[in-house]
Structure 1
Amino acid sequence: MAFKKYLHVHRLRRVYVWELPVRIYHWVNAAVMVALIVTGFYIANPPALTSSKEASLQFLMGKIRFIHFVAAYIFFFNFLFRLYWGFNGNKWATWKQFIPTNRRFFKEMWQVFRIDILMMKGKEHMSVGHNAMAGFIYFFTFIAFGIQCLTGFGLYASMSNWWLPRLFAWVPALLGGDILTRQVHHWTMWFFILFAMIHVYLVFYHDYVEGRGEISSMGGGWKFIEEEAFQKETQTAPDRSELPVKPLH
């Protein structure tokens, strides 16, 4: 019995999944989101700080708002770049990875949901890039990105002299004023906080369960993929540009 356990050996191949633009987008987005959340909390509910220094020399709120606005511009243009790369990246960066287009996509979503969320026994789904459930959730994050950009620049439009924020002056009017616009902006922020917590957990979980280098792949771009899983997803002959590695026992 012990001998039979080791008869099935997976042949792994080293596949370049996450291109450099995707990795840069990911880490820039992570950094500016942290900056936006921290400064956003301060702007929404500033603490009462007392000091003997001259008020004009302090201007802490102004500095916090400046950081928030700079991070917002970086977030916005980084988001626009990701929209562009969804049409020009490799197959694991395109919109087909995020938008359900066939029954197979929904079937895979249910399979991942049973294993990851319901913790039911079953065969772990092995995707090369994002699995269907992760891709579908990322699709909602792109929608949330758009909501944050609309509401954020909508709130900033009335106090900015630049033409770009003023393009969003219609958003508060559409939502009935700044109060609801600010609330939507705040609620969407909590979506990102919850998403980040679940995202980090699942990345570590899949890295442990699958052993494919999930965490390090967003640093170097490479993942270790089972040969049969790679051939099934790509439906192509082996490519010499993607380096196979020795089977692991």
Structure 2
Amino acid sequence: MPSHDYQRVYVWQQPVRWFHWINALCIVTLCTTGYFIAHPPAFMNSGEAAFSFWFGKLRLVHFVTAYVFLGNFMFRLYWSLVGNKYANWRNFFPLSKAQMKQVVDVMTVDVLQSRYKPMRNLGHNSVAYFTYTGTGLLTLFQVASGFALYAPMSDHWFPQLFAWVVPLFGSEQNLRVFHYAVTWLFGIFVFIHVYLVMYHDYVEGHGVLTSIIGGWKFMEKGKAQAEHATGISGLPTKPSKP
């Protein structure tokens, strides 16, 4: 019979939680405004055109949010160096034997659903960390391609840093297609992410859903102590000398 003697462990520090929600808001805003920029609706309005500059305002929201998105991402990179072990950058490269074994376990449970084996992690599991590495690379592409497309319309020095990206894709139109396609990948990621969070919260009961608000997770006491004593999230480390 499973134990009901749980220990509460502080996992997600406040900067990580702020990053998560700011990032979520930016993704929703960028995807929504990006869709309407690619497919602008034809609104009929008999009023003065000067009072109907909605598309320009839409693009302004998109560009401003892009700067916030980039700044938030850069802060997360910084926190991966100074945050606790659950935020550490080494977790995002699941290359050890223990991490690769966990990848197989998660795939059989979450994707194939060929067996029931709740994951015992206070932090993310290795598949989640690997996925976030992928979304991080997509973020870099969206930032580079977005500012490259913005560069011809801006005199500011920052977008000009990315002007070299356009020749790599042959034309602005080609780059715009890739930029738009990655937007849909982010949208798909959001749906899968929300589903898996709810799934693990229901199956494992570790408080994963509320942890991104308060920072706390729950685990059986013995397993929590063993997990909390490790170095990288979910991986064993050498015991410290007395």
Equivalents in 2 of 1:230, 1:139: separation in Å? 26
User: What residue is the counterpart of 2:202 in the other structure?
Assistant: 208
Kept after mapping to 2: 8 A contact 1:100/1:136: yes
Kept after mapping to 1: 8 A contact 2:119/2:204: no
User: What residue is the counterpart of 1:242 in the other structure?
Assistant: none
Question: What secondary structure sits across from 1:209 in the alignment?
Answer: helix
Question: What secondary structure sits across from 1:49 in the alignment?
Answer: coil
Kept after mapping to 2: 8 A contact 1:43/1:65: yes
Structure 1 residue corresponding to 2:180, chosen from 186, 189, 195: 186
State the TM-score, normalized to the length of structure 2: 0.91
Kindly provide the CA deviation profile for residues 50-96 of structure 1, in whole angstroms up to 9, marking residues without a partner as x: 11111122111101001101111100110111111111111000112
User: What residue is the counterpart of 1:73 in the other structure?
Assistant: 67
Kindly provide the CA deviation profile for residues 131-159 of structure 1, in whole angstroms up to 9, marking residues without a partner as x: 11111111101011111001000100111
Q: Which has the larger radius of gyration?
A: 1
State which drifts further: 116-125 or 70-79. 116-125
Kept after mapping to 2: 8 A contact 1:127/1:229: no
1:14 aligns with 2:8: yes
Q: In structure 1, list runs of 5 or more residues that go unmatched.
A: 237-249
Give 1:101 shift: 2.6
Kept after mapping to 1: 8 A contact 2:6/2:220: yes
Give 1:229 shift: 2.5
Spell out the pairing of 1:24-173 with structure 2 (5 A cutoff). Answer: 24-173=18-167
Runs of 4+ off more than 3 Å: none
Kindly provide the CA deviation profile for residues 207-233 of structure 1, in whole angstroms up to 9, marking residues without a partner as x: 101111111111010111222322333
State the TM-score, normalized to the length of structure 1: 0.89
Q: Percent identity?
A: 47
Kept after mapping to 2: 8 A contact 1:15/1:222: yes
Letter in 1 for 2:12: W
Structure 1 residue corresponding to 2:219, chosen from 190, 202, 225: 225
Equivalents in 2 of 1:177, 1:229: separation in Å? 55
Kept after mapping to 1: 8 A contact 2:3/2:220: no
User: What residue is the counterpart of 2:170 in the other structure?
Assistant: 176
Question: What secondary structure sits across from 2:113 in the alignment?
Answer: coil
User: What residue is the counterpart of 1:244 in the other structure?
Assistant: none
**Equivalenced residues, count:** 230
Give 1:42 shift: 0.8
Question: What secondary structure sits across from 1:225 in the alignment?
Answer: strand
User: What residue is the counterpart of 2:238 in the other structure?
Assistant: none
Equivalents in 2 of 1:227, 1:184: separation in Å? 48
Equivalents in 2 of 1:33, 1:235: separation in Å? 35
Letter in 1 for 2:104: W
User: What residue is the counterpart of 1:196 in the other structure?
Assistant: 190
Kept after mapping to 2: 8 A contact 1:128/1:229: no
RMSD: 1.3
Equivalents in 2 of 1:153, 1:118: separation in Å? 39
Give 1:10 shift: 4.3
Question: What secondary structure sits across from 2:217 in the alignment?
Answer: strand
Equivalents in 1 of 2:200, 2:179: separation in Å? 31
